[in-house]
Amino acid sequence: MGLSVAYHLAEQGVRNVIVVDKTYLCGGASGRNGGGVRAQWSSETNVTLMQESIRMCRAFARRMKINVWFRQGGYLFLARTEEMRKRLEASVALQHGCGVRTEMLTPAAAAKIVPELDTTQLVAASYNPDDGVVFPWPFVWGFANAAEKHGVKVLPFHEVIALRTQGANIDSVVVRHGDRELSIATSRVVNAAGAWSPAIARLVGVELPNKPHRHEICSSEPLKPWLRPLVADLADGLYFSQSTRGELVGGIGQSYVPPGLNQESSFAFLGKYARSRARTCPSLGAVKILRQWAGCYDLTPDANPIFGPVTGVNDFYQVSGFMGHGFMMAPIIGKRLADHLAHGTDEPLFERWRLSRFAEGKLLSEGMILG
């Protein structure tokens, strides 16, 4: 998110843009996710945003001069109950209204897309061929390299330790680099630290309701190419896709994980993921797992982000709480915030995703969350 904002600002001629990162550029959720990008959502806002973000992903490699292995094999969502089928049907109707090519499928039709599926427990499925997957690391590096070419300073291993203020105005950002402390004079700050965003906001007395939630993921031994779409099961949050090198990359939701910023791996995840994936495609029961890792979802109470300015601190913008889909929304969200910062354009999402909605009790909803 931060690199996208910086790149789009610099592209529009804004100078003196600095991005600081506590560790290396892929050290947080941006380097630890499955790379999925999809327009299959249950809210019009998310659908329309992702239509534009997918278009930007399609042009990314050519524009940024870096291969991100973007492949549009679609997302295949599976429904195992009548209640889930009705939810999918409502989402598909909404997506059709936005011009998305999603189809409702019978289990037999889903098996034509992925013949290895066990359809005996399936009720229905939905499929949008325009959804896809990118390789996260070069995606991050692409934004960083392009931003630097436009004059942005990208500073990894610079930890924010203080935000100095004069009244309601930010005066400077203090960062620690090694054993040195540096002060960066600025009156405008974008807080795009993902699961670490509440700690940054707290430096100026702003309380965010975001909570980190460990999400684990793993990669298998390479197989011959056989799986085109990303397969997702809303019943338990299972998802998996096949990379260009043949590995199956996937994860699954866990209702309980240790609280806090925890990026450790567990056997509990591996067992649950293996059982669910084998239930979905029995032929995968003997596939070996080569490596496993974890990152932190950035959860808000209503599964919707916090985006825009906050009351009490001028020019302090929040770009956090994007659950597990901040990576896929980064291109369009970064552009829209940059448009506002560079030109003062109105941004309707500031109202929809305002921080104050939680205190007001005006929560939103989103039903198609994985993990």
Q: Which CATH number fits domain 2-30+137-207+302-360: 3.30.1540.20, 3.40.50.300, 3.50.50.60, 3.20.20.80?
A: 3.50.50.60
pLDDT bracket for residue 371 (50, 70, 90): low
- pLDDT for 283: 95
pLDDT tens string 85-128: 999 999 999 999 999 999 999 999 999 999 999 999 999 999 99
> Is residue 153 scored above 70 in pLDDT?
yes
> Is residue 281 scored above 70 in pLDDT?
yes
pTM of this structure:
0.94
- pLDDT for 254: 87
Dist. CA 223–CA 214, nearest whole Å: 28
- pLDDT for 367: 73
Residue whose entry in the numeric block shows the structure tokens 């924010």: 160
Dist. CA 321–CA 209, nearest whole Å: 9
Q: Considering the domain delimited by 70-135+211-299, tell me its CATH architecture.
A: 2-Layer Sandwich (3.30)
CB atoms under 10 Å from CB of 149, counted, come to 13
Handedness of CA 118, 124, 129, 133 (dihedral sign): negative
CATH 3.30.9.10 residue spans of the chain: 70-135+211-299
pLDDT tens string 226-252: 999 999 998 899 999 999 999 999 999
Q: What mean pLDDT comes out for the span 26-48?
A: 94
Instruction: Classify 308 in phi/psi space as left (phi over 0), alpha (psi -120 to 50) or beta.
Output: left
